[in-house]
Amino acid sequence: MGLLSGSCAFVKYSVLGDLPQSGFWEFVADRVRRNAFQDIDDNFNEFSIGWVSVADLLDSSFEISDYAVADNIVLGLRVDQRKVSGAILKKFCAKEEARIKKERGIPKLSRDQRLEIKENITLKLVKQALPTPVKYDLWWNLAENTVYFFSTQGKAQELLEDFFKRTFDLGLMRQIPYTVAENLLAGDILETPLADLYPAEFV
């Protein structure tokens, strides 16, 4: 569902804050490099987030395709996460609880004991799980200072807003119909101010 996919979806953001007056591309190169995606396939980290090429989620050094395309920046936001399904966790917790009850000869475990088992099992299973990769594309239109983000998922949008801020020290504000209307009407003087608009009655 990304920029290059046959079918896609996007939302728009306004970029908040000032871009560097000089050395903009050096600034971008430095920030993208420092926040490029780091693989977690060979360690036990649960989560990793970083920039990759839009064309290839394995390309975090942008050797295959550049992020600078004319007056635009195109980036893939890769998120890898180790996840354990609820059903698997439940099964292994039940097995461990049964083992401990049998070993100690007790009929039931306390709430604290069950919580401790759950924590330990989660940790063990997360380490065994393979990280699932997801890539969300973004296109930063520098002429308009607008970001098009190719996902309508709330969770993905939260990740983008945080990571964009962390990378570029610039905020993102989601464009909603009312703020789009404010921008489109900027400078126009109409009989009814936008702020006085009320729901229309078509019948």
Partner 1 sequence: MDLVELMKEKEFVGQDFLTWLWLASESINSDGFFEHEGNPVVLLFDYNMKLECGAGDACNQLIFKTASGSASSLPEIKLAVQQGKKISQAQILISWKDLEFICKLDGSLLELTGIKLPKTVAGDDEDGYEARILERIYLAEQLSRIIDSLFLYYLKKRLTPAIWKQELVQFRDWLNE
Q: Which parts of this chain interact with partner 1 (CB under 8 A)?
A: 3-4, 6-12, 54-55, 65-66, 69-70, 72, 74, 139, 141, 148, 152, 173-181, 184-185, 188, 190-194, 197-203
174 forms bridges with which residues in the sheet? 13
Query: Of 45 and 157, which has the nearer Cβ to partner 1?
Result: 157
Q: Are the beta carbons of 121 and 93 closer than 8 angstroms?
A: yes
Report, in Å, the least distance between residue 138 CB and partner 1: 11
Q: Which is nearer to partner 1, 47 or 178 (CB)?
A: 178
Q: In the complex with partner 1, which residue's Cβ is closer, 111 or 202? A: 202
Q: Closest distance between partner 1 and the C-beta of residue 178, in Å?
A: 4
Amino acid code (one letter) for 108: K
Q: 30-36, long-range: CB within 8 Å, 24+ apart, which pairs?
A: 31/167, 31/168, 32/62, 32/67, 32/75, 32/167, 34/167, 35/163, 35/166, 35/167, 36/60, 36/61
Minimal distance in Å, beta carbon 69 to partner 1? 5
In the complex with partner 1, the residue whose CB is nearer, 86 or 177, is: 177
Q: Tell me phi and psi for residue 65, to 5 degrees.
A: -145, 140
Q: Which is nearer to partner 1, 64 or 94 (CB)?
A: 64
CB of 54 to partner 1, least distance (A): 7
Min CB(74)–partner 1 separation in Å: 6
- Using only C-alpha atoms, the chain has a radius of gyration, in whole angstroms, of 24
